[in-house]
Structure 1
Amino acid sequence: MHFSGERLRVARQRRKLTGKELAKKSGLTSVTVSKAENGHQVEEDTARALASALGFPFEFFWLEPPQVINAESVSFRSLSKMGAAERDAALAAGSLGVELYEWVEHRFNLPSPNLIDLNKERNRPDTAARLLRQHWGLGDRPIGNMLALLESNGVRVLSLSENTANVDAYSFWKADNPYIFLNQRKTPERSIFDSAHELGHLVMHHHAGAKNDKGAEYQADAFASAFLMPEADIKGQISGISTAAQVIRKKDRWRVSAMALAYRLHKLRLISDWVYRSICIDLGKQGYRSGEPVGVEREKSVVWEKVLIALWSERMTKADIANGLKIPLEELENFIFDLAGRSPSPFTGASLKLVV
């Protein structure tokens, strides 16, 4: 097996290092690092110096080339806020995340993707949201656990391995499987909305070319709002709203932020422009523009709970998983950060069996 320059690039990007910075850290020249990344023969001592500087196992660099995630295929939640290093680190995380799920799929029967192509409805995101709800048999009822719903329909969900406010979430398709990466350091309400936003990208923009323009972002936001807060249910549950306090009391039904509910009410013309502005000002004063002082419980992943429990029954730890993938344990921990738990879910019937 040859040293993989592609894996060196992934590891370097995960550490947000330039080639020059890696050269200095590893005690090598920039030319040596460049040649290594571009497929030239690498001596063992050089490979060990690079592995040590990057904090990756030596064996990682001798595996088959990784599945590279191209920026053009990814829907980033906040691309305009990202620097190149943050973008590349997120893309590198995507490559490792795909490998993690492939490792899991070799051992478990995961739900197959059950999404529909709604590219033709991308200019009518409310309609797209309604069609997907019909396809999944949801009717107009609130969604109890968005993460579990995604997983039960074959979406591969991982926690975003970035401690930054500039990378909210992103999604892509790889080998006919849909992936969503979520920043779990945001409020639970924000993560729920982000997951619905990325779902919108997956169904509306899979074959739509550019995914990161303002039009696509607006469409995904409108999809998320309609998917989480169906018009019929909103109108059946809410009338006569005029204050921020009323919005705060009602928001938990749909597990969204107070600002998101206020926006939806205004969009559906259930509150006037003046009332909407007044409510937003009041919510801002109470801290609801930057956070959620009265929030909901964070959702947990059904898939990762079951995977970890099943593996533990076989005496396999997270360290064993990381060792099998030849990645640092911290990378694995980041991928499942705040996802696995024992919270009950209405979607626990999803198929997930250990392959023997």
Structure 2
Amino acid sequence: MEAWVDSVGERIRSRMTPGLSQRQLAAQVGMTPDAMSRALSGQRGFASIELAKIADVIGEDVYWLITGQRDPLRVDVAARHAWDPMRSQRVNPGRENDEEIIRNVIRAYHQAHPDGPPSSVELPKRPEDVRRMLGDGFVRPFAAAVERRLGVDVVRVPNLSTDYSMRIGDRGVILLASTPHWFRSNWSLAHEIGHLALGHHANSVHAMQNERPADTFAASLLLPTPLVHSVDWNGIDGSGLAGFLWNTGVSTEVLRHRLSSLRIGVHDKVHSWLREPTQRLLRAHVDVLSDDDKWGDPLVDRERDSSARMFPLGVLAALRDRVEAGNAAPDLLAWVLDVPVDEIDFPEPDEDAEAEAYDRVLSDRLSAAEWAGALRTGKPQTLA
């Protein structure tokens, strides 16, 4: 038996949970225990249907079981789930309505990179290490910093009910809903980075259990414990609080929960400020807010940027090149750019060439008499 067959068995065993025996796996797949034992040890090969069933049971894909490599076109999706206090559980009620947008994003990547997009770097699992990679002052250009320094793409489109992260092949992609609430986008971006860094896309069976660790990761990324402890929360005034929120890019709600989780007490005035809507508190102290790279109203600038449609330039360039070469659909590029399809330049059929080809077809056709002769003799007849 060839060595790759042994490797298949080794990979299957490596993904079997401690509570899953070979006998149980065989029963779920429809194999006898003896056949499973011999296949895992390389004494016989697996049938394709057996591998497909095994992949479902252990939560892996057939491509990896056979090759040991991640499928360059495989897609794993994780969503940010909201907390439903009535049902005491996390929910994603808008997933069905989001499916078309998600499919279009995946389709754009597959058409732009038919052999799979470039791989992202492996992210560290500790939020402090990710924060170090992002560098000082990453909050304002958060999405750009994530793409440039983490190798994770950020897509922002309207009409999404929530935010998502995906692994398309080995590429990390974060899909954000466009919204003027930039602090919400910041939290979602940090939350989805947590999903990617913690490897949650490889274990989508436990999606609900993955939400709390992703929240904890996001809180530590945006509001690291030393930074929060460095503030005098009993002496801070309204302007100081507004400046802290602005520089860390979080909402009053996120900061309130972070202070509570760290058991940091604040005086009543700060507590009441943290109950206000974020934009109202910041608007009241807009004079202390600034963005070095922007002119005008800083709040409006952030709202506008957070609402703007956004696709990674690398995907746009690759997709445009393939459309111009006639290898990708122009309607998809139009959707990505949010423009009418007739504004997309793509190869038009050469009408002269088509006319010449049509004339050749007509000239090569048999006449009625020739067809009659062919039917009588079994071969075409040429009339003098």
TM-score (norm 1): 0.53
| Closer/same/farther in 2, CA of residues 145 and 301 from structure 1, 3 Å limit | farther
| Closer/same/farther in 2, CA of residues 263 and 147 from structure 1, 3 Å limit | same
Q: Distance in 2 between matches of 1:228 and 1:197?
A: 10
Q: In the TM superposition, what are the counterparts of 1:1-356 in structure 2 within 5 Å?
A: 69=75, 73-78=76-81, 80-83=91-94, 85-99=96-110, 101-102=112-113, 113-116=120-123, 118=125, 128-134=126-132, 136=133, 138=135, 143-152=139-148, 153-160=150-157, 162-164=158-160, 167-204=161-198, 205-210=200-205, 212-213=207-208, 215-240=209-234, 246-272=240-266, 278-283=272-277, 286=280, 294=299, 297=302, 298=305, 304=312, 324-334=328-338
| Closer/same/farther in 2, CA of residues 274 and 253 from structure 1, 3 Å limit | same
Q: Distance in 2 between matches of 1:142 and 1:155?
A: 14
Structure 1 residue 174: Cα displacement = 2.0
Structure 1 residue 194: Cα displacement = 1.1
For 2:331, give the aligned amino acid. I
| Closer/same/farther in 2, CA of residues 157 and 260 from structure 1, 3 Å limit | same
Q: Distance in 2 between matches of 1:174 and 1:211?
A: 19
Q: SS state of the match for residue 173, structure 1?
A: strand
Q: Distance in 2 between matches of 1:256 and 1:216?
A: 22
For 1:184, give the aligned amino acid. S
| Closer/same/farther in 2, CA of residues 320 and 287 from structure 1, 3 Å limit | farther
The equivalent residue for 1:30 is none
Q: Relative to structure 2, which stretch is displaced further, 257-266 or 187-196?
A: 257-266
Q: Distance in 2 between matches of 1:114 and 1:330?
A: 30
For 1:331, give the aligned amino acid. W
Q: How many aligned positions are there?
A: 240
Checking the alignment, whether the CA contact within 8 Å between 1:147 and 1:301 is kept in structure 2 is no
Higher relative contact order (CA 8 A, sep 6+): 1
TM-score (norm 2): 0.50
After superposition, the C-alpha distances for 1:143-162 in whole angstroms (9 at most, x for unaligned) are 442112211121122123x4
Checking the alignment, whether the CA contact within 8 Å between 1:130 and 1:227 is kept in structure 2 is yes
Q: Distance in 1 between matches of 2:238 and 2:212?
A: 25
Structure 1 residue 207: Cα displacement = 3.1
The equivalent residue for 2:21 is none
Q: SS state of the match for residue 189, structure 2?
A: helix
Checking the alignment, whether the CA contact within 8 Å between 2:155 and 2:174 is kept in structure 1 is yes
Checking the alignment, whether the CA contact within 8 Å between 2:253 and 2:274 is kept in structure 1 is yes
After superposition, the C-alpha distances for 1:276-318 in whole angstroms (9 at most, x for unaligned) are 7533434489489xxx99566236899846887x89xxxx799
Q: Distance in 2 between matches of 1:270 and 1:303?
A: 40
Checking the alignment, whether the CA contact within 8 Å between 1:141 and 1:233 is kept in structure 2 is no
Give the aligned CA root-mean-square deviation in angstroms: 4.3
Q: Distance in 2 between matches of 1:321 and 1:276?
A: 59
Pick the structure with greater CA Rg: 2
After superposition, the C-alpha distances for 1:177-235 in whole angstroms (9 at most, x for unaligned) are 1111111234222112211111000111133343530x322221221121112222233
The equivalent residue for 2:43 is none
Q: SS state of the match for residue 281, structure 1?
A: coil
Q: Distance in 2 between matches of 1:210 and 1:253?
A: 37
Q: Distance in 1 between matches of 2:137 and 2:215?
A: 19
Checking the alignment, whether the CA contact within 8 Å between 2:116 and 2:168 is kept in structure 1 is no
Structure 1 residue 95: Cα displacement = 2.1
Checking the alignment, whether the CA contact within 8 Å between 2:252 and 2:277 is kept in structure 1 is yes
Q: SS state of the match for residue 327, structure 1?
A: helix
Unaligned runs of 5+ in 2: 1-71, 83-90, 287-297, 340-384
Q: Distance in 1 between matches of 2:265 and 2:116?
A: 48
Checking the alignment, whether the CA contact within 8 Å between 1:114 and 1:154 is kept in structure 2 is yes
Q: Distance in 1 between matches of 2:223 and 2:273?
A: 18
Unaligned runs of 5+ in 1: 1-65, 119-127, 336-356
| Closer/same/farther in 2, CA of residues 321 and 329 from structure 1, 3 Å limit | farther
